[in-house]
Each structure stands twice: as structure tokens, then as C-alpha cells.
Amino acid sequence: MDKSIRVWDVERGFEAMEIEHNDPVVAVAFSPDGSWLASGCTDNVVRIYKIKTGTEVAAMRNPAGSTICSIALSPDGTLLAAASDGGRVGLWEFPTGIERGTIPPGDQLSVAAYDVVAFLPDGQKLVAGRADGKIEIWDVGSIRKVASLRGHSEGESFVGLKQVAVDPHGECLVSTGGIRDSTVRVWSMPDAEGESGKELAKFSEYSCSAVFSPDGRCLATVPGGVVKVRESGTWLEIATLPGHTAGINSLAWSRGGWLASGGGDSSIIVWK
């Protein structure tokens, strides 16, 4: 695993910046306006950088665990959430790094680590996927759990959730299962409390990522080494994007409509 972040100019295809770290980088997230970058590493620290200069402006340690697993920024760019393998989600003001609170672990500490986090479009609620397959929705102002979603192989140790994604309109939530649950599931929002969700697909190997397009019209998922694009709502497959020679580790969709995938073959492929 690399100990650096490389920032690329997608349209012109060149590396614009490299930011070195002392430990392997696990998670990254851009601010909505593209001016700031947050990183999470195996030292359990979240760092914030100013893109224009590459300068580190803040560093925050998660209150529990050893590794930052996932980072999410609120749609207005004022709040950062980071999940760690210690079972807690830290909340900080962005980009100052001032602590706002902590979402506590679940009841069973052995399986209650939060794997993935994502904000709802209103910025007031946070989706947190747990290592035991459960999905929770939290009000970040009051640090209060407002909903629990079921459907993945919950209750088993290390089921894991690889990704949670909310469409830009807040109408549905998609999650991808881990090693013991290779399904992609979708829930109707906001009234999803207690539902098991609809299974969109089940793969022979787990799908590590799911992302909505900026306009919410498409959903991209990853079964193995190809990208599958579906139409939101009907969930019909409309495109298959091959190209990688190994499994795909991550997906990202830019505001301008570029879709990028990063693979285990050490390559990044960009589609327009």
C-alpha cells in the first residue's frame, strides 16, 4: 500500500501534485468546491490539506482504533466524518479540524466497528455501515441514531460493508457487502427504518464500491474487474466498462461527469 496521495488533472492527464505520508493512506475525500483534501491513514489520523499549495492545515486523531477506514464530507463542506476500526466515528468542523462529537460503537464491540460513512444531502444526517452488516443513520447535531437498516448478513463477525452511497436527491441509499455478503442492496429513503432493502445484484466476488453520478441518474458498481453502470430507479444495466486486469478497489464520479476507477493493477481508468 502506497504512503502518498497523487492529485491528477483529469482533462489534461498529468499528475498535478503528490502529498507524502508516513503511513499507508486508506481513505481520501475532496471538499465539494475542490479546494481541500482530507486523508485517512493506518495511524488513525485524519489530515486536511489545501489543494492549491499542498499544505497540511489540520490533523485529527480518531478517539479509538488504529486505522481510519472511511472519510465523508457534508455537502456544504462544513463537517467531516471519519470511521475507524475502533468502533467509533469522529466528527470535526471542516477545514478547521475542531471536534464536534463522536458516534459511539454498537453493543457488540467485536463486530461493531464502522467500515463506511456517507452524508445525506441535507448534511444533517450520516449513514454509517458497520462491520457486522448493519447500517445506521445518525443525526449529527444531536448524535442520536434515527434509523437502522437490515438486509446484509448481519450479526456475523467481519461481514463488512464496503460502501454506502446516497443519491444527490436523498431518495435512495445503496450499499455493497463485504467478503461474506457479496450483494448490492438499495433502500428507498427517507422511510427505510427496519427495511431489508432490495437486492440489486449478487456477485461471485464482493463489489467494493458504489457511486451515484452527480445528477443521480446513474449508479456505478464494481463486480470484480469491470464497472457496471445502472439507471437509477429502474436499476437496469446500461453499460459495462472493462479495462482493468485486476480487481477494482475504488470508484469516483467528478462533478463534471468523469467516472474514474482505481484497480489492483496499479492503473486508473477514466470514462466520460
pLDDT tops 70 at residue 176: yes
- In the chain, the percentage of residues whose pLDDT exceeds 70 is 87
Beta-strand pair 161-166/144-149: unpaired
Q: Of the ranges 36-50, 61-75, 81-95, 102-116, which one carries the lowest mean pLDDT score?
A: 102-116
Inter-residue contact 116 to 89 (CB < 8 Å): no
Q: Of the ranges 77-86, 103-112, 234-243, which one carries the lowest mean pLDDT score?
A: 103-112
Q: How confident is the model at residue 168 (pLDDT cuts 50, 70, 90)?
A: very high
Query: pLDDT, tens digit, for every residue of 182-230?
Result: 788 888 876 655 566 788 877 766 556 889 999 999 999 887 678 899 9
Average pLDDT over residues 68-73: 93
Domain ranges of the chain: 4-156
Check whether domain 4-156 has CATH 2.130.10.10, yes or no? yes
pLDDT of residue 109: 47
- How many other CB atoms sit within 10 Å of the CB of residue 26? 18
- In the chain, the percentage of residues whose pLDDT exceeds 90 is 44
Query: pLDDT, tens digit, for every residue of 106-146?
Result: 655 445 578 899 999 999 999 998 877 888 999 999 999 99
Q: Which residue has the higher pLDDT, 63 or 3?
A: 3
- Pick the closest to residue 201 from 221, 187, 216, 224 (CA basis): 221
Q: Which of 62-66, 72-76, 167-171 has the highest mean pLDDT?
A: 72-76
Beta-bridged to residue 136, according to DSSP, are 128, 148
